[in-house]
Amino acid sequence: MSTSDDDGRPLVDGRFRLISRLGSGGMGTVWRARDIALDRDVALKEVRPPDPAAEAARPGLTAQLRARAIREARALARLSHPHVVTVHHIVEPADGSAPWIVMELVEGNSVADRLAAGPLSVSEAITLGREVLGALRAAHAAGIQHRDVKPANVLLRAGGGAVLTDFGIAVLDEATSRLTASGDLIGSAEFIAPERVRGEEGNPASDLWSLGMLLYVATEGHHPLRRATSLATVVAVLDDPIPPPVRSGALGPVLTRLLVRDPARRPDGAELDRLLAEAQAAAGGAVADAVPAGFGPPTPVAHPAPPAHPYARPAYELPGPPPAERPTGPARRKRLATLSGGLVLSAALLALAIAQFLPSGGDGGTGDLGDGKPSGTTTGGQTPSSGPVTGTAPRTTAPADQAAPGPLLTPDGVRTALAAFREATGVTTIKQMFVYDEYAIAEIPTARGAKTYDRYQFRDGKVSRQGIGGTISASDADAQPFDPSVLPWDDLPTLMRRADSELKVDPPRSRHLIAERWTFNEDRPTLLVYRTNEYSAVGYLAVDTEGKQVHKLTAD
């Protein structure tokens, strides 16, 4: 690196004058620079060499980082697309030191910056999704997978339009086996597709999962799989269900189709674009300038914060995939035991992967959202009924003259919801139930004694069917339906006060309940009283049918 003749500021390659730092992360620092040869501003990415201790622990790490940076530039140079950041030049120092990548300077914020102010409207998110999808389809057509689609890697031009950037861990198809031979975790924990966590590579559908998760976060206002640690997040990516979207409107059914664990069941790029176009039309169609409008006031949102305990069911977690996809009962306990035994090794692997190889702006993806089929367009945060289900009384809505209940987190409120579920379905048992102050979600057998179940929501005095749940395996003790009337609902006021005073979640942002056969209470019916806050602190009280405490998790 030389210095400028006129002001003494550093010059890279005798041509690019560093002006100011734009951001930094695990792979390097991005600078605003002036190309004195062409008299224009550019973005200059300085690839950061690893810490000497890391290099000592993993010889060749510097060369690996350098090679990855050069691959980024070459991968991007193969693309010409309005929503892919343009690479102008790459500087490879003769002394073998870290290279510099010269890119177009995108004037504007990232999607992560925008979401810090609040979620996007549905129309804004759909437009954003189609633009990022266009970039991904161009990359996939060139044999390039991005591998780290996330809000921090999507920039919003000040004049309008999204730009996908930071292909720093992109992999050309023909080089995949060499690039993943070290076993490194490639991608941000919160947005990585489950098959990539399992080491399965080479599928463009994995990038589409990440895009789906980005859009879920953009409209719902929270990440459904974020946990307190990267290791816990990876576990959630593999096993935990995703709450069905309630604020995504016309985009909701698209997310349902996209966020499924099996990549073969996800729509491909062309079908996804068609689905987004249909959602765009359903949302009103007037979305040409939706992304620039995203810089305006955020959409108001009030929702539970993510949980922070890797083994506790998240307080906001809604019903997930069928047991065949999510281990339960003995299989789940065995998996948890295995996880505990491998904690040290896994944590070390993640520390290396996340600290050393993630691109700048890291922000750090699970159960299916249903059966992979859309269940209809939601309006106002509520999914309409999908029609009758099997049962002795196949009604999907409570009587129109039923009075809207008060807060549900009371004995009378819970019993009102349970009565409405019984009247709508003709079934008196549940598999699980999640209760918030304003609504409740329940997994209910499709008929008395049935081995299949559907999902229902109770809100504003009405019951609506949310979609197909799954199959209840006879071998899974913690999945068996039970009569929720056996739980100590009369003790709820006392339990709520105890949770406020004992769980040390300060200040609590969300108060909610889960009723289920709990794995850690020998699969007996259990009532869990949760508290969470916006800093991802979580605590809960777990009591049995007699109201006796069987476990307590505090936030400290």
Whether residue 6 lies in the annotated active site = no
Find out whether 211 and 129 touch, Cβ atoms under 8 Å.
yes
Provide the pLDDT for residue 283. Answer: 84
- Tokens describing residue 54: 């890391």
pLDDT category, 248, cuts 50, 70, 90?
very high
Rounded CA-CA distance 190/188 in Å is 6
Just give the CATH number of 111-357.
Answer: 1.10.510.10
pLDDT category, 295, cuts 50, 70, 90?
very low
Provide the pLDDT for residue 264. Answer: 92
Question: In whole numbers, what is the pLDDT of the chain averaged over residues?
Answer: 74
Mean pLDDT of 245-249: 91
Range in 63-67, 179-183, 488-492 the model is least confident about: 179-183
Write out pLDDT tens, residues 162-178: 999 887 566 554 443 33
Rounded CA-CA distance 553/482 in Å is 25
* Percent residues over pLDDT 70 in the chain: 68
Strands 162-164 and 171-172: unpaired
pTM recorded for the entire structure: 0.52
What CATH architecture is 2-104?
A: 2-Layer Sandwich (3.30)
Rounded CA-CA distance 192/328 in Å is 23
Residue 135 in 3-state DSSP?
helix
Rounded CA-CA distance 484/465 in Å is 19
Provide the pLDDT for residue 52. Answer: 66
Report CA torsion sign: 195, 197, 198, 200. Answer: positive
Mean pLDDT of 453-476: 84
Mean pLDDT of 275-290: 73
> In the predicted model, is pLDDT for residue 237 greater than 80?
yes
Rounded CA-CA distance 43/436 in Å is 47
Provide the pLDDT for residue 492. Answer: 95
> In the predicted model, is pLDDT for residue 235 greater than 80?
yes
Q: Which amino acid is at 318?
A: L
Domain boundaries, the chain: 2-104, 111-357, 411-486, 489-553
Q: What are phi and psi of 462, to 5 degrees?
A: -125, 150
* Residue with token string 């620079």: 33
In a 13 Å sphere around the CA of 467, the CA atoms on its Cβ side amount to 26
Catalytic choice (148, 207, 240, 523)? 148
Higher pLDDT, 29 or 324: 29
Mean pLDDT of 132-151: 90
Instruction: Give me the DSSP letters along 194-217.
Output: HHHHTT----THHHHHHHHHHHHH
Contacts of 372 (CB under 8 A, 6+ apart): 256, 257, 260, 265
